[in-house]
Structure 1
Amino acid sequence: MSTLDEAGRREYYRIDDSVALEINPLSGADQASQDAMQDTSTLFDLLSELHVSEFESQHLMRQLDERDRVLNSFLKSLSKRIDLLGEVVAHTALGKLGAPQPVKLSEGGIQFNSQQGFAVGEQLSIKMVLMPQAAGLMLRARVSQCDARADGGFDISTDFVNLPDAQRQLLARHVLQRQAQHRRQALEQGQPSGN
């Protein structure tokens, strides 16, 4: 994947990551309609809603921890059970999406390899499962760059379109966690983190 020059740099942190992806082009009619983003897989839809809901309730859990630690501990226990059920759903969804693949990810977009080329400006439906928490996201993206590779595949760069704030924050949190993990690993190996 090529490095972006100064003029093309994004305003978001980018990380090398591994995610499960399903990419589908949106037709002209689909682009105007939110219905195209509704997945026929109920499991994936539930997984996506589960992680957004969990993210949105975190601030309430922090407030509750200050007021009632016993209740907060109980709710954390229930949350852990729900997370385990979410992992079961995620593994089922992963079976449909395939194995995780290397990508460059930010809260603004994703860069990935594809055997199919897409036109610059084309809109895509992206189903993505973030690892290791198995957070499922259904997103729209617009192709910003498509470069042919020597092996016949393509390097595709996209920008997310109409990303809800909760999903953007979920992506930002994931990027920061992965960045911190990369730094820890680099320090353990005695290498500079590169970020």
Structure 2
Amino acid sequence: MSNEPNRRKYLRVDDRVSLHFQPLSESEAINTAANFEIRRMEFSLKNHLVHGREQHMPHMRIIEKRHPEIASYLKFLEKQIESLSSQLIDKDHCLSVDDRYEVNLSAEGIRFYMPEQFKSGDIAEIAIMVYPSQASMYALGKIIRSEKVEDESNSETLWRTAIHFTRLHEEDREMLIKHIHQLQLAEIRLSHG
């Protein structure tokens, strides 16, 4: 057993997610970083709406008590906005519900397997959709390592790629933390029958 302390700030879990991963050239990385919020909204609009709803929940409860008909109408509008945002996301989304990847995920990074090697130190664009919530997040990350995996049962060469998130909006980090927490609770329930 190693005497080195665990330097990780966040818990890690194995999961199956939809994944978009794109290494960026230096000029693409600069441009993407400059337009981070715009690009993020293309992927994380639903998270943004959910986060806003959670922040305003105390106000909504007051409205529900004092003016139930107004609260009902606000909930209707909220569902309409959520439906529209889902359609907007689905139309231009590069994340496929059908294509899922085995990953190791935390609120500070991700590790996954790809059929090609990537250069350590390069910047990449990452988008993830988690299940069953179908919440999406967008981040920029630094490729920490890309190691060849020796697997005789698989004829395809795979590379284990680890990414450290260098730019991740706090709303998306909170979504990841909640998702990981839910996975851990489900695992505990399964283990305790």
Percent identity for Structure 1 against Structure 2? 23
Work out whether 1:184 is the aligned partner of 2:185.
Answer: no
TM-score (normalised: structure 1): 0.76
Equivalent residue, structure 2, for 1:21: 19
Match of 1:115 in 2: 115
**Which structure 2 residue ranges, 5 or more long, are not aligned?**
152-156
1:158, CA displacement in angstroms? 1.0
Per-residue deviation at 1:76?
4.1
TM-score, L = length of structure 2: 0.77
Q: Distance in 2 between matches of 1:104 and 1:91?
A: 25
Partner of 2:51: 55
The correspondence for 1:158, drawn from 152, 163, 186, is 163
- The ranges of structure 1 where at least 4 consecutive aligned residues each deviate by more than 6 angstroms after the TM superposition are none
- Higher mean Cα deviation, 169-178 or 13-22? 169-178
Query: 1:77 and 1:178, CA in 2 relative to 1: closer, same or farther beyond 3 A?
Result: farther
Q: Is the 8 A contact 2:140 2:165 kept in 1?
A: yes
How many residues are treated as equivalent by the alignment? 181
Shifted more, 11-20 versus 142-151: the winner is: 142-151
Give the conservation status (yes or no) of the 8 Å contact 1:22–1:97.
Answer: no
1:10 matched to 2:15? The reply is: no
Query: Is 1:168 equivalent to 2:173 in the alignment?
Result: yes
Q: Is the 8 A contact 1:21 1:97 kept in 2?
A: no
> Which residue number corresponds to residue 64 of structure 2?
68
CA distance in 1, matches of 2:131, 2:112: 16
| 1:88-167 matched pairs, under 5 angstroms | 93=93, 96=96, 99-151=99-151, 152-167=157-172
Unaligned stretches of 5+ residues in structure 1? 191-195
Shift of 1:182: 1.8
**Within 1, Cα distance between the matches of 2:3 and 2:167?**
25
Instruction: Verify the 8 A CA contact 2:146 2:162 in the aligned structure 1.
Output: yes
State the one-letter code of the partner of 2:123. Q
Q: Check the 8 A contact 1:149/1:155 in 2, yes or no.
A: yes
Residue identity opposite 1:101 in structure 2: Y
- Paired with 1:67 and 1:51, the residues of 2 have a C-alpha distance of 23
> C-alpha displacement at 1:80, in angstroms?
4.3
